[in-house]
Amino acid sequence: MTGQLRHMLRDDDVSHEEQKQILELGMKFRENRFYRQPFAGPQGVAVLFDKPSTRTRTSFSIGVAELGGYPLVIDKSGSQLGRGEPVADTSRVLSGMAYGIVWRTFGQERVEEMAKYATCPVVNALTDQFHPCQVLADLLTIAQFRGGVDALAGKTIAYLGDAANNMANSYLLGGAVAGMHVRVAGPYGYLPDKAIVADAERIAAENGGSILVTTDPKEAVADADCVFTDTWVSMGEEAEYAIRSKPFWPYQVNDELMALAKPDALFQHCLPAYRGKEVTSSVIDGPQSVVWDEAENRLHAQKALLTWLVGQQRGDDALLA
């Protein structure tokens, strides 16, 4: 049976029920890392990196291998993409050999161009606009500690810091798909794109959730079930840290802010973290922090996503069960 070619380029590329399917698969992979092996053969998956990586490289490389496949890891300097080959040409070439394409790159238009010409699933492993694989792992982490996948809907999550970055965008969309109450707080000048907020509001309304964008960190954190943050300076902006960090100090996740959330609220950070800046050591190393489970869940969530995408393409319901 022939299925439908699907990609994961941004968090709302899946529906509420489809996201639940992926997360349920992720829970099964947590219990048994070899639960399914859709790439047995081994079948190759191209994993492309235009940006430095630790967690993404490790989790996708090990994940594809545990799915029975061969991860072909290609850095920017080792591909013709780095020398100006059109994305469309690369996509056609890789699709003829690989069973999936994973790409960590810059502009969102790049992964969209790759998907346009691909005949196998394409996964956004991070762009400047979205980081859907991270948010799947973060939702999986909440499900792990707070009652399973069915318990996600209705929970409140708060993100503090640079609210104009890819993590804020993905929390808005991914949380809305899950039916959560999503709150994003950042200073003026660092708030999310209005079009993304509008998409998130529409999706949240369909799934029983809500969206709040605010400049008040206390309003965002009040009675939240989980608090998130990210580095205040994205890759490539390190030289501007002293200037860029000034507006963000009121959004530092510290004991005072965490005390406003629910008593059993979780703390998550996509890492790398800078203690004493976006988060204090007492929080990230404290009892409410689940960042190491969150990092491990990148492996399980991404294996689930790849398995789900392959199941859709092949029309194989057994891979989705």
Determine if residue 104 is labeled as part of a ligand binding site: yes
Does the annotation place 110 within a ligand binding site?
no
19 among the known binding-site residues? Answer: no
Active site residue 270: yes
- Cα 320 from Cα 309, distance rounded (Å): 9
CA-CA-CA-CA torsion sign (199, 201, 207, 209): positive
Q: Select which of 7, 30, 36, 131 is catalytic.
A: 131
Q: Is 7 assigned a ligand-binding role in the annotation?
A: no
Residue 298, marked binder: yes
With CA atoms as reference, report the closest residue to 14 among 178, 159, 218. 178
Catalytic residue selected from 6, 10, 36, 104: 104
- Is 298 among the residues known to form the active site? yes
141 known ligand binder: no
| Residue 89 marked as a ligand binder | no
Q: Which of 110, 183, 270, 288 is catalytic?
A: 270
Quick check: 197 and 213 in contact, CB under 8 A? yes
Q: Tell me if 270 is assigned to a ligand binding site.
A: yes
Question: Annotated catalytic residue: which of 6, 230, 252, 300?
Answer: 230
Is 120 labeled as ligand-binding?
Answer: no
Q: Which candidate, 212, 106, 127, 224, places its Cα nearest to that of 170?
A: 127
- In sequence order, what are the residues at sequence separation of 6 or more whose Cβ sits closer than 8 angstroms to the Cβ of residue 60? 45, 47, 71, 102, 125, 302
Q: 6, 7, 181, 298: which one is catalytic?
A: 298
The single residue of 134, 252, 288, 302 carrying the catalytic annotation is 134
Alpha carbon separation from 65 to 68, 223, 283, 298 (Å, rounded)? 5, 41, 34, 15
The residues that are catalytic are 104, 131, 134, 230, 270, 298
Q: Which residues are annotated as a binding site for L-ornithine?
A: 166, 230, 234-235
Q: Which residues are annotated as a binding site?
A: 53-56, 80, 104, 131-134, 166, 230, 234-235, 270-271, 298
